[in-house]
């Protein structure tokens, strides 16, 4: 894992520790990395429902989580990230599949970026942990 991801996960773990302290005996240590504020595992479709609600609020079309995965890979390849790094990021064994699938999901990244609404992708002030996101393979 890269240093940034490790740093984010460490900060997330510290935030979970604070949530545990705040919840006290009501906190359920489920052992999961991403949980609800009380430590319970999240509903499997929680991320999809939350993503759909946020895209609706922003006036954006719905996007499947798996499509975001392919888009992230395409953007990484467009940014000249090494194919092996993108392959590892996706957990794939076959670099040919990574190149062909990711390369076709976003043919013109510059046009897609220009089409985003002003301010899209900027972090809001609320903690991301305040929303219960789902888990699952990506």
Task: Give the pLDDT confidence of 33-54 residue by residue, as tens digits.
Answer: 888 888 899 888 888 899 899 9
pLDDT digit string, tens, across residues 50-82: 989 999 999 988 888 888 888 888 888 888 888
CA pair distance 87, 89, nearest whole angstrom = 5
pLDDT band at 110 (very low <50, low <70, confident <90, very high): low
Mean pLDDT, the chain, integer: 75
* Residue partners of 76: CB distance under 8 A and separation at least 6: 85, 86, 89, 102
Q: What percent of the chain lies above the pLDDT cut of 70?
A: 67
**Euclidean distance between CA atoms 76 and 98, whole angstroms:** 11
Q: What is the mean pLDDT of residues 18-22?
A: 87
């Amino acid at each position: 894992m890269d240093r940034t991801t490790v740093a984010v996960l460490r900060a997330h773990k510290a935030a979970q520790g604070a949530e545990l302290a705040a919840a006290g005996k009501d906190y359920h240590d489920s052992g999961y990395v991403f949980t609800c504020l009380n430590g319970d595992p999240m509903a499997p479709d929680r991320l999809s429902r939350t993503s759909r609600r946020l895209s609706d609020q922003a006036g954006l079309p719905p996007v499947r989580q798996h499509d975001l995965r392919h888009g992230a890979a395409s953007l990484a390849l467009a940014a000249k990230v090494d194919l092996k790094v993108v392959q590892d990021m996706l957990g794939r064994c076959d670099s040919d599949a990574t190149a062909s699938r990711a390369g076709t999901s976003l043919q013109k990244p510059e046009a897609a970026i220009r089409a985003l609404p002003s301010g899209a992708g900027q972090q809001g002030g609320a903690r991301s942990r305040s929303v219960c996101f789902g888990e699952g393979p990506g």
